[in-house]
Chain A
Amino acid sequence: MPTVNPTRMELTRLKGKLATASRGHKLLKDKRDELMRQFLELVRVNMSLRQRVEEGLAAANKNFALARSAMSNETVEVSFMASKQDIEVEVQPKNVMSVNIPQFTVKTRTSNESDIYSYGFAFTSSDLDEAVSSLAAVQADMVKLAEVEKACQLMAAEIEKTRRRVNALEHIMIPQYQKDIKYISMKLDENERSTQIRLMKVKDMMLEEAHHYKEKEAQKAAG
């Protein structure tokens, strides 16, 4: 049984709550739908980007394995000890339906492409050059992948949260409020009816008191 007080004040309060809940439900539903639309678009990009990056990296990895097999550990290690290139990312938050997703802008120290080769060419095999250049080729896609994949993860989490809220409002809160409101209004109607009946009864009794209808009726019957 509902545990609400069947009073007018409670009724007004609940009606206000129901109005807010319905409005919130509508807004959240719209938010969920829009998020979902954007997410589905983004996740397709994510998937194709990931496939591309994984292919590129697989090729690069093959080259690296090859390069490594042709050189001694020390040579390989020394080759990458003093990297000429340096990479930094600038992060710009972007607000998509109240989800903050990061946008990455890459800044490299030197713009010269050949600066990715941080070693002299005398002691390293040409496989290594190829490996490094194949890795450099996928670098832009990798950054893009990071951005898109993170956005997908964040949006997925937000969609899940929003969906839960929508469902809670739709299936629990709103029906509960409606039930309570119905209960209170029934109870109030009931009270009203019983007051009415009581008044009618009292009126009858008061009239009887004033005019003694019943006594007169009895006399008439006797006389």
Chain B
Amino acid sequence: MKRRVIFLICLAILGAAGSGFESSLPVYTRQSDTTIFKVPANFPKPVYDFKGNRVSDAGFRLGRMLFYDPLISRDKSISCANCHQSFAAFAQLDHAVSHGVDECLGTRNTPALFNLAWQKEFMWDGGIHHIELSPITAMTNECEMASNLQEIVVRLNASEKYPALFKQVFHRDAINSQSVFRALAQFTSMLVSADSKYDQYIRHENNVVFTTDEQAGYAIFKAKCSACHTEPLFTDRSYRSNGLDKHPDDIGRDSITHQADDIGKFRVPSLRNVEVSGPYMHDGRFNSLKEVLEHYNTGVVSSPNLDPLLKKNGVLGIRLDHTEQLRLLAFLKTLTDTKFINDKRFQDPNKIKSK
């Protein structure tokens, strides 16, 4: 006990001393490890502080193994990767809503996973406040993995491979839910997407230039979209109603805040990798970006909570003529990070080996 107190004091002192030379130390990754969490030059400081959970090679690999392991779901039939597919920027291709155990269809579209270390809140309604806890919803939702934390921890402790791997990362004899969440966070926080054509253009890398259409689309984007889909994350991380329904079936943010003016509001999603992460909207109602742009052009319906930016000067929506839509699409495609979606580090380790 005494030893533990002393250890904690040491940590506190190290932490205090650390603040003096923060910039010179890789605070997000354990020293000597090669799995490095880097803040891209055009990005702000991440929200996740990696406190007590700096990324390590072994931790990242363990998190990835858990992410691809169906052992987490009640009937061991699905893993996180069933709905979060690397080639779709970790959204689910062609599925309007999530698809859980027993063929259960959920009510909301699987969100893409990237740049999570910059995210303050998670899920379409923002109900989860911390990256480490973000898997808890899918793990326990009856229509997703339908398991519970006790069961997951028991299974992992009883498995052949996991106890030694957890011990290597967390230096403890037994696996608990905290280690599971932290291991997963070591993987999910590493899912950084910041190498699209847009990023290279902004950072003046590789002599990348925009085409005329892309350049024109970027100007339209800045004039008409960026108030909500703010650079460089392409979301202002707020909750808004974008005029999908007069009477929303899904109350959205209100289910968390219990406030009438949040009915029908959802988290503004990032537009990064939007080309590959359809279907779109919280319920996956639009299959193509063309439909999405047409919604903003002519489909926005009025409701008490409709975002004021979508009824400026009494005009519903955002007028976008055919040419503007084409240009905007050209720009949105510059946000596709092919290096990210093809990154072998983030793919199923079992499949990569067998290839």
Q: Do A and B bind each other?
A: no
Spell out B's residues near A (CB within 8 Å).
Answer: none
